[in-house]
Amino acid sequence: MNNLINISNDLFVNTYTRHPAVMVEGEGCRLKDAKGNEYLDFVAGIATCSLGHCHPVVTDAICSQAKKLVHTSNLFHSLPQIELAGMLVDHSFADKIFMANSGAEANEAAIKLARKHGGTGCFEIITLEGSFHGRTLATVAATGQRKFHRGFEPLPVGFYHAPFGDLAALEKLITNKTCAIMVEPLQGEGGVRPLEKEYLQGIRTLCDKHSILLILDEIQVGMSRTGTLFAHEQYNIRPDILTCAKALGNGMPIGALLTTNKVAASFQPGDHASTFGGNPVACAAAVAVLKTMTSNGFLEGVVQRGHHLHDCLKSIADQYNRICRGVRGRGLIQGLVLDDSIADRGGEIVSTLFKAGVLVTLAGGKVLRCTPPLIVSMEEIDAMAAVLEEVISNI
Ligand SMILES: Cc1ncc(COP(=O)(O)O)c(C=O)c1O
């Protein structure tokens, strides 16, 4: 396997820090590498394989669509697209859908739609410090973390970042050029930071007061991750635009923009497009995902297991409070916050866990983020927590 890893390192542009494993198989919450090592996967392709690896219903949907029709472009309608768009509308605030291939592309579409809706001269978008919205130039500019900007300036203009949690500071950034505020209901990459209910409701109120759009980026936390199909349902608010991706296709590349009739009317034929967006195979996978996630008892299971994951992490945080600051998250996105004194050892902890067969990610520099498949069992959560406790106890 080392040979394969060397070949891979030689072949690729050096943009990723990867674990030394060539993953070859997955089933449920387990991954297997080319050496035969097994891993308990609390990454799930970064909150993407939410029904677990190779979920049979999704795999069947992919295979059967691949035998019928793989691609047509958006010059034509396609059956899986129509079915998926109908389901997204039925299960959300939205009237209209635009389909993309990824989260960043869904956000690009949202940014363009908000600017078009704002009209000439009304192009500014406010996001939050600590946010993450993607890796294209516009979504990098939208992202409220300097480290993602460095080396890529000049960035597209018109993006402003408000301090997290400060509604008054956010309002001060609104001008007559502002067309939208874009936020994640829970910042994933920013370190598993949920927005308080009153805060997000306050942002909605600000948008109404200043007649600007609220864009919710639910790319990481939508699709049942927090215990409701969309995270904002827990806030009793509605966005004007919502973006989702990641878990929508359970690993097939797909993103979607959801919006209202009123906002959608700002886009006319030719304003935006994507060759692969809404690809029939990806849509067939997403239909299977949505059917499974909206079936009886699915979300209740996510909530229950989310509580259990939270409790397991909390008990580790309490026991090792010298090095753990606490636990935060919702549903099955939970983060163990490391104390500043060992924050620089986060990467080492993630590597040690990897060697012990447990996969987690580091978010916001010092948060061990757990995003297991939503079908994770209580026993798998216990098994992960036992390994994590062992690793933390040795720090
Ligand atoms: C909140 C959020 N927005 C956007 C993106 C970008 O999605 P993608 O990597 O599919 O372009 C991510 C990816 O991590 C994300 O977490």
In terms of C-beta density within 10 A (0-12 exposed, 13-18 middle, 19 or more buried), how is residue 56 classed?
A: exposed
Is there an atom of ligand 1 within 6 Å of 233 CB? no
- Sign (positive or negative) of CA dihedral 361, 363, 366, 368: negative
297 Cβ contact partners less than 8 Å away, ≥ 6 residues apart:
none
pLDDT digits (tens, 9 = 90+) for 52-106: 999 999 999 999 999 999 999 999 999 999 999 999 999 999 999 999 999 999 9
CB hemisphere CA count around 179 (13 angstroms): 20
How far, in Å, from the CA of 388 to the mean position of ligand 1?
Answer: 26
Are 144 and 129 a contacting pair, CB within 8 Å? yes
Q: Which of 132, 140, 225, 362 to mutate to test the pocket of ligand 1 (most atoms within 8 A of CB)?
A: 132
DSSP 8-state symbol, 249: G
Q: How confident is the model at residue 1 (pLDDT cuts 50, 70, 90)?
A: low
How far, in Å, from the CA of 3 to the mean position of ligand 1?
Answer: 31
Tell me the C-alpha distance between 286 and 288, whole Å: 5
Are 358 and 388 a contacting pair, CB within 8 Å? yes
Between the alpha carbon of residue 189 and those of residues 134, 220, 364, the distances in Å are 10, 9, 6
Tell me the C-alpha distance between 303 and 228, whole Å: 8
Between the alpha carbon of residue 67 and those of residues 62, 75, 101, 280, 286, the distances in Å are 9, 21, 21, 11, 17
Q: How confident is the model at residue 2 (pLDDT cuts 50, 70, 90)?
A: confident
How far, in Å, from the CA of 195 to the mean position of ligand 1?
Answer: 18
Is there an atom of ligand 1 within 6 Å of 134 CB? yes
Q: Is the pLDDT of residue 332 over 70?
A: yes
- The Cβ of residue 374 has, within 10 Å, a number of other Cβ atoms equal to 27
Tell me the C-alpha distance between 45 and 4, whole Å: 21
What's the average model confidence in pLDDT over 346-369?
A: 98
Q: What share of the chain is helix, strand, coil (3-state, %, to 5)?
A: 40, 20, 40
Between the alpha carbon of residue 39 and those of residues 27, 168, 263, 351, the distances in Å are 11, 46, 44, 13
Tell me the C-alpha distance between 44 and 18, whole Å: 15
Is there an atom of ligand 1 within 6 Å of 188 CB? yes
Provide DSSP, 48-106.
T-TT-BT-HHHHHHHHHHHHH-S---TTS--HHHHHHHHHHHHTSS-SEEEEESSHHHH
Tell me the C-alpha distance between 21 and 387, whole Å: 19
Is there an atom of ligand 1 within 6 Å of 108 CB? no
Tell me the C-alpha distance between 52 and 30, whole Å: 8
pLDDT at residue number 231: 98
- The atom number, within ligand 1, closest to the CA of 107 reads 4
Q: Is the pLDDT of residue 5 over 80?
A: yes
Are 1 and 35 a contacting pair, CB within 8 Å? yes
Give me the residues paired with residue 250 across strands.
252
What's the average model confidence in pLDDT over 195-207?
A: 98
Average predicted confidence (pLDDT) for the chain: 98
pLDDT at residue number 155: 98
Name the residue at shortest CA distance from atom 9 of ligand 1: 103
Are 88 and 290 a contacting pair, CB within 8 Å? yes
- The atom number, within ligand 1, closest to the CA of 46 reads 14
What's the average model confidence in pLDDT over 212-229?
A: 98
pLDDT at residue number 367: 98
Give me the residues paired with residue 242 across strands.
216, 258
How far, in Å, from the CA of 247 to the mean position of ligand 1?
Answer: 11
Are 311 and 329 a contacting pair, CB within 8 Å? no
Which domains are seen in the chain, by residue range? 2-55+296-393 (3.90.1150.10), 56-293 (3.40.640.10)
